[in-house]
A and B are shown apart, each in its own frame.
Chain A
Amino acid sequence: MSIWSWSGFFDYLFNPFILGGVFTTIWLTAVSLVAGLILGFVIALMRRSKLVPLRGIAWFYVWLFRGTPLLVQLIVIYTALPQLGIRFSVVEAALLGLALNEAAYLAEIIRAGIEAVPEGQSRAARALGMTEHQIMRHIVAPQAFKIIIPPLGNSVNGLLKTTSVTSVISMEELLRRTQVLIQEKFMVLELFAVATIYYLLLTTAWDFVQRRIERKFGQSTAVASPQKR
């Protein structure tokens, strides 16, 4: 076996099959992130609800999905739920597993962000006659959002890499496509170098986006906070 093949490396780097896998990794991340954010926000609000059953359901949800490995969740969704007559395709099962799992983590991040805004501000707003909706919209959410951004960015980075776990249920994302091509010529190092480069490219691109977002929302505070004397 040869030590390193540059031609093999470049062939795989621009291989359409691999690029398709990169694309799948991107949309898997994006769709499960959006779904996870919506669900996570609902769960976070439920955890702060005055209604005990709502709080209980939200607590149970976070407890269940944060307390079990994604790998187990995926295999259960894909190969065990059909036993109960609930059947999801590979893509559905992958998205569902990622989104449900992500929502549990995001719910905690969002909750922490909301709770970091001092209660006194809400009370003051209430005293001014603002409705609960207005308080959330104008007082709590803008401040909470800023607190949420750094851990949220971290979470997206993690999610991007976690999509590789869906390969176990035969989801053809970047890792699985890399593995499929390995048996062709057994260029293990070359192919994994290609996969590594794409993962790094994606996480670096996200890092750049995250910094832009942080800078954008960081500025608003700089303006709002009192000037240093």
Chain B
Amino acid sequence: MLLRKVSSAAAVLLASTVAVLAGDCTPKVADSELIKPGVLVMSTNPTLPPLQYVDSAGELKGMRVELGTEIAKRLCLTPEYVRIEFSAMIPGLSAGRWDMINTGIFFTEERAGMMHMIPYEDQAISVSVASGNEAVKTKEDLAGLRIGVEIGGFEETKTRLLDEELKAAGKEGLVIQTFDNFALAYQALRAGQVDGVVSIDAVAKEYDARGDFRRAVSGLYPAPVAFAMKSPALADAVSEILKEMKADGSLAALFDSYGVPMPETDYSVKGPGR
């Protein structure tokens, strides 16, 4: 008897909470397009301050995290983040583990043939070296050095390209060491186990500003960074939100607060067959 009363009271409470939370906000994406109804599940590898990282309290922070949360809010969905290594991102998206990759995945034609991508940010490759190292000034100076990089990403691909370019120019190549994430690669740099770490401009700049590692080379292989989705309907909805955020100035304000330049893009979806 008592149990029934309690449970019916709980049901009323739950129903009213849901009503309050939802308000007059109707999700802009059908539940059938999502892994979890009413939730936007995003994957991120939080090892790239200031874009995506975890603070000392264990909270997810950074420009891309804020942007993803804002997109979810405007879609009337609850944002949820899965923290995972980059190497698991694309397999996980196709396996239906998350709705959207929000980890600053670089846009390439090959990738756009497999999933729906929206370029929204420009990044280029940088090389960080130990703060006392003044010897490395250009990419040619990297010949023969031990270079750490996160496995499976654009950075690794470009590091291998750099290695080939150096060899083609008759110089010594790179000794490439792949790590599970940037945190470990930078840890190896701090320990002097590698001579440099290949990362992206914004991250290398942040570490340079903190006085941790010197950004020796930057601006290599510039390329757009994108969100990636499996569902074309979700991609369209996110594209609309980004256009809306550009129009009302909130996107520029966010990028500006992190010192990231706004890219030349129309936030359109590039994917299989389009």
Expressed in whole angstroms, the minimum distance between the Cβ of A209 and any Cβ of chain B is 32
Q: Which residues of A contact B157 (CB under 8 A)?
A: 183
Question: Are B178 and A79 touching (Cβ within 8 A)?
Answer: no
Q: Known: A1-B114, A79-B190, A183-B156. Is A90-B177 also a contact (CB below 8 A)? A: yes
A50 to B151, CA, bound (A): 51
Contact of B177 among A80, A170, A188 (CB under 8 A): A170
Q: Which residues of A contact B152 (CB under 8 A)?
A: 179-180, 182-183
Interface of A is mostly: helix
- A38 in contact (CB, < 8 A): no
Taking the complex as formed, is A53 at the interface, i.e. its CB lies under 8 A from any CB of chain B?
no
CB pair A80 B114 closer than 8 Å: no
Among A71-113, those with CB < 8 Å from B are 75, 78-83, 87, 90
B91 at the interface (CB under 8 A from A): yes
Cβ contacts under 8 Å, B151 to chain A: 176, 179-180, 183
User: What is the minimal beta-carbon distance from A117 to any residue of chain B, in angstroms?
Assistant: 45
Chain B: how many interface residues by the 8 Å CB criterion? 22
Selected contact of B193 from candidates A1, A79, A167, CB within 8 Å: A79
A213 within 8 A of B: no
Q: Which residue of A has the minimal Cβ distance to B91?
A: A188
Residues of chain A contacted by B156 (CB below 8 angstroms):
180, 183
The answer to whether A170 touches B192, judged by C-beta atoms less than 8 angstroms apart, is: no
B184 within 8 A of A: yes
What are 19 contact pairs spanning A and B, CB under 8 A?
A1-B114, A79-B184, A79-B187, A82-B192, A167-B180, A168-B180, A169-B188, A170-B178, A170-B188, A176-B151, A179-B87, A179-B151, A180-B156, A183-B87, A183-B151, A183-B152, A183-B153, A186-B90, A188-B91
Contacting residue for A82 out of B90, B91, B114, B193, CB 8 A: B193
What chain A residues lie within 8 Å of B87 (beta carbons)? 179, 182-183
**What's the minimum C-beta distance from B239 to chain A, rounded to whole angstroms?**
22
The one of A78, A180, A186 in contact with B91, judged by C-beta atoms closer than 8 angstroms, is A186
CB distance from B20 to the nearest CB of A (A): 41
Instruction: Provide the B165-182 mask, 1 if CB < 8 A to any CB of A, else 0.
Output: 000000000000111100
With A168-B184, A176-B178, A183-B157 as contacts: A82 and B94 at CB distance below 8 Å? no
